[in-house]
Amino acid sequence: MSTKTSNKICVVIGASHAGVNFAFALRKEGWEGDIILFDRDPEFPYHRPPLSKAYLTSEEGTQQDLLFPKQNYETDKITLKLGKTISSINRKEKSITVSDGLVQKYDKLVLSTGARPFIPPIKGLNSAKNVFAMRTAEDALNIRKSLNKDRNKVIIIGGGYIGLETAAALSKLDASVTVLEREERVLSRVTAPEMSTYFKELHHKHGVSVLSNKNVTSVDFNNGINEVQCDDNSSYKADIIIVGVGIKVNTELAEEAGLEIENGIKVDANCKTNDPNIYALGDCTFHFNPHYKKYIRLESVQNAVDQAKIAAKSICGEAVAYDSIPWFWSDQYDVKLQMVGLSQGYNQTIKRIETDRDNCQSVWYFKDDELLAVDAINNAKAYMLGTRFIQKNQKIDKLKLSDVSIAITPTSFI
């Protein structure tokens, strides 16, 4: 492989989990040519999940959570070009143009452009003070800087995982936090009602107010404080507003270059786009999942790392295909939520509250007799066995699963 690639150039746009892991995987697979990573974030590549958790409560910043040590980039001869925005892709010339005018040629191009926060068109939001999203280290730093010694009133718009994790972190900093969720319950798109209720009660226990059916319509800034207005005529004062209502996938570069777009950049089982010299990875991709037999787009570190390995092997000539079961996690207070599988389409749930351990439970999602997903709270055993059962399409005895006197083991419910 090396003799074929020693004079080749692989360019990666996006130096987050997908792009960085791909670069190191590509070198490991035997690519001997140049590997160049571009990213608009000036920070050295870092882990993003802690942004809504540890970064808010720690003084150490991103240097404690680098994706790889700085010397590894030198050892593996991976060139980082940070703080650089890519303005266009020229597929015919096989080049990209940086916003400062630099033109960079490539033999293989990898897009790990990710996503950015969606900021809804709320009247007055642009003129409000101390309004933040939560996507980069700069966002987390700016939120920390806005906290003062007095108890800050923080309004979080959106009750998804990012919003709830941020609420948990800020409550530890003695902020007065209120979460406003437009839907009838938090996490409504990704979990069962039982899980939504659990996390709402968890936050209330820690002094965070979580309010549902709250559609924010406008924000007024008067006398040095924001006032958030909802369509039910309720209003909430806020020193700080954090918007966490979702993301917008960064597909513009790919779309302008004529790549196929469908709920993201569409890729095949090797992470290849409709251009044989361009691959895409991570949050920005729309890919087929063989287990669930449908195209999906995943916002998860696991998916980014899995696709990075697949693309690296494919570029280096190894015949591999994506075939992973999605998994996710969330840390809030003293609770670790581990999720495996995709629960969409479930028609039955079974909830287990383990009697031998405190605050240890799980929700199992079924479509008829097929186990689709498991949400496990402080229950690594349920998560691990749920993963195994889903991978094997294992049929489960639901009556045994419902009986909490039967311990969770590999053979308990078969």
Give the mean pLDDT of the chain.
Answer: 93
Q: Do residues 104 and 31 share a domain?
A: yes
Q: Do residues 241 and 257 share a domain?
A: no
List the beta bridge partners of residue 237: 227
Residue 1, pLDDT above cutoff 50: no
Phi-psi region of 305 (alpha: psi -120 to 50; beta: other; left: phi over 0): alpha
Task: Give 92's Cβ-side CA count (13 Å radius).
Answer: 0
Indicate the pLDDT class of residue 189, thresholds 50, 70 and 90: confident
Residue 3, pLDDT above cutoff 60: no
Q: Do residues 352 and 208 share a domain?
A: no
Ramachandran angles phi, psi of 286, nearest 5° = -115, 110
Q: Do residues 201 and 348 share a domain?
A: no
Q: Do residues 129 and 241 share a domain?
A: yes
Rounded distance between C-alpha atoms, residue 287 and residue 268, angstroms? 6
Lowest mean pLDDT among 65-74, 132-141, 232-241, 306-315: 132-141
Indicate the pLDDT class of residue 63, thresholds 50, 70 and 90: low
3-state percent helix, strand, coil for the chain, nearest multiple of 5 = 25, 30, 40
Task: Say which residue, 55 or 362, is predicted with more confidence.
Answer: 362
Is residue 308 within 8 Å of residue 22, measured between CB atoms?
yes
Q: Do residues 234 and 254 share a domain?
A: no
User: Any idea what the CATH number is for the domain that residue 169 is in?
Assistant: 3.50.50.60
Residue 284, pLDDT above cutoff 60: yes
For residue 206, the one-letter residue type is: H
Give me the domain span that covers residue 203. Answer: 125-245
Exposure of 97 by Cβ count < 10 A (0-12 exposed, 13-18 middle, 19+ buried)? Answer: middle
Q: What percent of the chain has pLDDT over 90?
A: 83
46 inside domain: yes
Question: Which of 259, 288, 315 marks a domain boundary?
Answer: 315
**139-184: pLDDT as tens digits:** 888 998 898 767 789 999 999 999 999 999 999 888 999 999 999 9
Rounded distance between C-alpha atoms, residue 141 and residue 134, angstroms? 10
